Amino acid sequence: MNTTVIAPAARQAGEAIPKSSFDFKPVLLLAAVMLLSVPAVLGAGGSASSWLTLTVAGIAMGLIIFVIASGLTLIFGLMDVLNFGHGVFIALGAFMATSVMGYGAGAGWHGFVSVFAAMLVAMLVAGAVGWAFERVIVRPVYGLHLKQILITMGGMIVGEEIIKVIWGPLQIALPLPDELRGAWLVGEAAIEKYRVLAAAIGLVVFAALVFTLNRTKIGLLIRAGVQDRSMVEALGYRIRRLFVGVFVAGSALAGLGGVLWGLYQQSVTPQIGAQVNVLIFIVIIIGGLGSTFGCFVGALMVGLMANYTGFVAPKVALFSNIALMVAILLWRPQGLYPVTNR
Amino acid sequence: MNAVLELAGVHTHIGAYHILHGVDLAVPEGQVTVLLGRNGAGKTTTLRTVMGLYAASRGSIAFRGEAIHGQPTPEIAQRGIAYVPETMGIFTDLTVQENMVLAARAARHAGELDRARLDWVFGLFPALRKFWLYPAGKLSGGQKQMLAVARAIIEPRALILIDEPSKGLAPSIIQNLIGALRELKAQQTTILLVEQNFQMARALGDTVAVMDDGRVVHRGAMAELAEDEALQQRLLGLSLGAHQ
């Protein structure tokens, strides 16, 4: 794939080494999916406005998935830990939201206040539980993939049961506050307010992660650790401590994502974690394990595909994500943005 | 002359393999100690054991008089040991600048790098200044090796472990590297150098330790070994003068 353009002037100046060029192909693929869906939606009896509605819904869903999956991809990238228990933090966040928002509704809080309070509490609780989860469940199985899968899945089952003990085994409604209900009309397309809010929060998380990873020393350590952990240690940094921090932050983000997801569905079940788990693993595999930007593009792709196929061919929608993963892995077996040295 | 680093009877197992069989080694302060020996003699394992990347199963390792065996790698590095592994350990996705900021523990970002020291490093390795903002993965093999050494010296360290820096490099690049390491040596930097290239070993070494089968089988002055072909034959199975 090397471009063979030779710039003689640059060469003479000894600058034959190319600067890192951003790989646009996955982003173009994302744009292609959005464009190709236009005729598909129209062909299935939709209109331009239904395409816009689907696209906004897909982007919102994608960004929510990104919020949840971003922590998981870093946890894997940095410490090679396969955390199948990530879903428990999603469920925990969503259930915390039912309690906080239920309390808020009783106390007459403004809708925005109770949503943001729910997010804050969910992040704090999920982060704290994440800290304990890392200590008790993950730490004894560093470097042992099979045991990680088994014990983190076990941890999730236990977590799910504890949630049932606290909140009951049944589905709980998580209605949007009145202020967030309804839609804006753009032409004939209805753009739901909440989806815009969820997408905005997803973008804020993405921006915060990009800033942390690229502009701070902690981010530098994380990026270096994803590539070569033992060299980071040989330079004198305690990567364990860093990893605990990433694990807690990733769990808190999963809690935040749980609130967003629960509000997106407007209901919460104890199985929510297991359901979303499949999606987020597809996303981090598509994106390239350990890559934050890959996770971002992969999440958007999964969100959009789910919405488009749900409209165009509902039966296909059941396996559209798996099909997407297969197609992408045939193209790039390491995912969209492979992390080198792995 | 004080020994900065002292290994006494160090044994190391890697999985089921018993690699080091009681290594005794002292690295005197302000000198370059060269570790010679054929492939598989245990030179790299010795360095990795000092860094705590492999655990010593027996014996003791002391750095500036304090025991460091059994301590975690970051702790050992923080005491003032820099390590340049055989694989160089360059973070290829990061820029040259980011690699250097990581190596300088006191700096939070490039602006906090010690300017004077950085200029000195640039003087030793001018290519790094030129490619400062380029991804390290795009550097040539020789430039990567220079970056690896530069990382080890961007902050003052009491001891630098360097594992086969000449490996896979063209002779002219090796000459550059020897020049830079000579300059380090002139500043009384204590270095433990694993090297198979005898030209490099002779140019830099003050003292030499020869390893075979997981033990140090000879210790002495580099000059002595360089002149004694019979000793070279016996220790290394070849005449080093003829070898190069």
pLDDT in tens, A267-302: 999 999 988 998 999 999 999 988 899 999 999 999
Q: Which residue of B has its CA nearest to A237?
A: B74
Task: Note whether A224 contacts B: Cβ–Cβ < 8 A.
Answer: yes
Out of B73, B101, B133, the one facing A233 most closely (by C-beta) is B73
B10-69 residues touching A, CB cutoff 8 A: 51, 53
Quote the minimal CA–CA distance from B112 to chain A in Å: 11
B120-139 residues touching A, CB cutoff 8 A: 130-131, 133-135, 137-139
Q: How many helices and strands, by DSSP H and E, does chain B display?
A: 11, 10
Interface test with B, best of A78, A221, A233 (most B CBs within 10 A): A233
Position B47 scores a pLDDT of 97
Gap between the Cα atoms of A110 and B243, Å rounded: 83
- Average pLDDT over chain A reads 89
Quote the minimal CA–CA distance from A326 to chain B in Å: 27
Burial class (CB in 10 A: 0-12, 13-18, 19+), B212: middle
Position A306 scores a pLDDT of 92
Q: How many residues does chain B have?
A: 244
Q: Which residue of A has its CA nearest to B80?
A: A236
Q: Is the confidence at residue B103, as pLDDT, over 90?
A: yes
Domain definitions of chain B by residue range? 3-243
Gap between the Cα atoms of B239 and B229, Å rounded: 6
Position A20 scores a pLDDT of 56
| pLDDT confidence bin for B235, thresholds 50/70/90 | confident
Q: B151: which chain A residues are within 8 Å (Cβ-Cβ)?
A: 235
The amino acid present at B18, given as its one-letter code, is: H
Q: B131: which chain A residues are within 8 Å (Cβ-Cβ)?
A: 17
Q: B49: which chain A residues are within 8 Å (Cβ-Cβ)?
A: none
Cβ of B105 within 8 Å of Cβ of A235? The answer is yes
Longest dimension (CA), chain A: 73
Q: Which two tokens stand for residue B115?
A: 């300017």
B198 within 8 A of B239, measured Cβ to Cβ: no
The secondary structure of residue A177, as a DSSP letter, is: P
Cβ of A235 within 8 Å of Cβ of B133? The answer is no
Cβ of B138 within 8 Å of Cβ of A221? The answer is no
Tell me which CATH code domain A57-331 carries.
1.10.3470
Q: Which residue of B has its CA nearest to A240?
A: B74
Out of A20, A234, A341, the one facing B83 most closely (by C-beta) is A234
pLDDT per position as a tens digit, A311-323: 998 888 878 889 9
Considering just the CA atoms, what is the radius of gyration of chain A in Å?
21
- Average pLDDT over chain B reads 91
ipTM, 2 decimals? 0.90
Cβ of B105 within 8 Å of Cβ of A237? The answer is yes
Cβ of A223 within 8 Å of Cβ of B93? The answer is yes
Task: Note whether A103 contacts B: Cβ–Cβ < 8 A.
Answer: no
pLDDT per position as a tens digit, B201-226: 999 999 999 999 999 999 999 999 88
How far is Cα of residue B34 from the mean position of the Cα atoms in its chain? 9
Position B1 scores a pLDDT of 60
pLDDT per position as a tens digit, A46-85: 888 999 999 999 999 999 999 999 989 988 888 888 899 9
pLDDT per position as a tens digit, B159-186: 999 999 998 888 888 998 999 999 999 9
Q: Is the confidence at residue A11, as pLDDT, over 80?
A: no
Quote the minimal CA–CA distance from B111 to chain A in Å: 12
| pLDDT confidence bin for B232, thresholds 50/70/90 | confident
Task: Note whether A223 contacts B: Cβ–Cβ < 8 A.
Answer: yes
Section A262-267 average pLDDT = 93
Other C-beta atoms lying within 10 Å of the C-beta of residue B89: 22
Position A46 scores a pLDDT of 85
Q: What are the distances in angstroms from CA B40 to CA B18, B24, B75, B202, B213?
A: 12, 17, 28, 21, 7
Cβ of A17 within 8 Å of Cβ of B131? The answer is yes
pLDDT per position as a tens digit, A184-223: 988 888 899 999 999 999 999 999 999 999 899 999 999 8
pLDDT per position as a tens digit, A91-132: 999 999 999 999 998 888 888 899 999 999 999 999 999 999
Reduce the DSSP state of residue A258 to 3 states and report it. helix
| pLDDT confidence bin for B33, thresholds 50/70/90 | very high
A11-70 residues touching B, CB cutoff 8 A: 14-15, 17-20
Quote the minimal CA–CA distance from B135 to chain A in Å: 6
Position B239 scores a pLDDT of 54
| pLDDT confidence bin for A172, thresholds 50/70/90 | very high
Position A101 scores a pLDDT of 94
- Neighbouring residues of A312: CB distance < 8 A, sequence distance ≥ 6: A37, A40, A41, A43, A44
The amino acid present at A219, given as its one-letter code, is: G
H or E element, residue B239: none
Out of B78, B93, B94, the one facing A236 most closely (by C-beta) is B78
Torsion of CA B22, B28, B32, B33, to 10 degrees: -20
The CATH fold assigned to B3-243 is Rossmann fold (3.40.50)
Cβ of B102 within 8 Å of Cβ of A234? The answer is no
Position B234 scores a pLDDT of 82
Task: Note whether A220 contacts B: Cβ–Cβ < 8 A.
Answer: yes
Residue with tokens 């590297």: B177
A17-26, A155-164, A169-178, B117-126: lowest mean pLDDT where? A17-26
Residue B22 gets the label, from left (phi > 0), alpha (psi -120 to 50) or beta, of left
Quote the minimal CA–CA distance from B71 to chain A in Å: 12
Higher pLDDT, A249 or B39: A249
Position A342 scores a pLDDT of 45
Position B236 scores a pLDDT of 77
Quote the minimal CA–CA distance from B236 to chain A in Å: 31
Cβ of A224 within 8 Å of Cβ of B94? The answer is yes
Q: Are strands A172-173 and A267-268 parallel, antiparallel or unpaired?
A: antiparallel
Section A221-230 average pLDDT = 89
Helix, strand and coil content of chain B, in percent to the nearest 5, comes to 40, 25, 35
Higher pLDDT, A99 or A20: A99
Q: What are the distances in angstroms from CA A109 to CA A98, A173, A201?
A: 14, 18, 21
Position A19 scores a pLDDT of 56
Q: B92: which chain A residues are within 8 Å (Cβ-Cβ)?
A: 227, 340-341
From start to end of chain A, where are the E strands? Answer: 172-173, 183-186, 189-192, 267-268
Cβ of A236 within 8 Å of Cβ of B74? The answer is yes
